[in-house]
A and B are shown apart, each in its own frame.
Chain A
Amino acid sequence: DAGVTQSPTHLIKTRGQQVTLRCSPKSGHDTVSWYQQALGQGPQFIFQYYEEEERQRGNFPDRFSGHQFPNYSSELNVNALLLGDSALYLCASSLRRASYGYTFGSGTRLTVV
């Protein structure tokens, strides 16, 4: 039973560039949520996708956007990267947006230089 898969595991980008992170949810899950975890802090909610639409959004600028595909996988895009975007980006999947059953991936470590 495949868990949540994220790619790439590590990434280094230059300020101003754009980046795309990918997430495949746990088998049987249809909802994907993205979190940003800065070094030494707890994760912060970015947004959630269900039925290929953004359903909820946290306090993040429009530079952060996403997409969900028919197979439930998801992408997180960040434009015009800032040094402050350096963080661990976690993907969590669940079934029908249930808040009690999230499964997390191991994250993508993004470093902006």
Chain B
Amino acid sequence: AQTVTQSQPEMSVQEAETVTLSCTYDTSESDYYLFWYKQPPSRQMILVIRQEAYKQQNATENRFSVNFQKAAKSFSLKISDSQLGDAAMYFCASAANNAGNMLTFGGGTRLMVKP
């Protein structure tokens, strides 16, 4: 079984500044993926970034990067140069790398971006 915890219900950042969203997880699997999804008011879950647990190097996607601490089971998301369009709900999720394994989501963090 997997659990994902996001301890920050809401975060706020000034436009052009940097913000970090926290996530901790627990899993008995040795091979798994970790994800950050963005859910804007349009409701569609959009993949922001993905990390393979066997990779030590932290994943980056343009302004988005993660800090993956495997021993601590921590997976935080850093958003640099925040933009108004980054305002949304952000969900951390995990999935074991076995066929058909579903995503387990955290409770989400609402990010507000101030102009």
Residue positions of A touching B, CB distance < 8 A: 31, 33, 35, 40-45, 48, 50, 55-56, 58, 88, 90, 92, 96-100, 102, 104-107, 109
> Interface digits, B40-59 against A, CB 8 Å rule (1 contact, 0 not)?
00111111001010000000
The answer to whether B95 touches A100 (Cβ under 8 A) is yes
The answer to whether B44 touches A48 (Cβ under 8 A) is no
Residue positions of B touching A, CB distance < 8 A: 4, 33, 37, 42-47, 50, 52, 91, 93, 95-108
The answer to whether B100 touches A42 (Cβ under 8 A) is no
Docked Cα-Cα span, A99 to B102, in Å, equals 7
Docked Cα-Cα span, A107 to B108, in Å, equals 17
Specify which chain B residues have a CB less than 8 angstroms from the CB of A102 in the assembled complex.
47, 103
The answer to whether A104 touches B45 (Cβ under 8 A) is yes
Query: Given contacts A42-B107, A99-B97, is CB(A56)–CB(B102) below 8 Å?
Result: yes
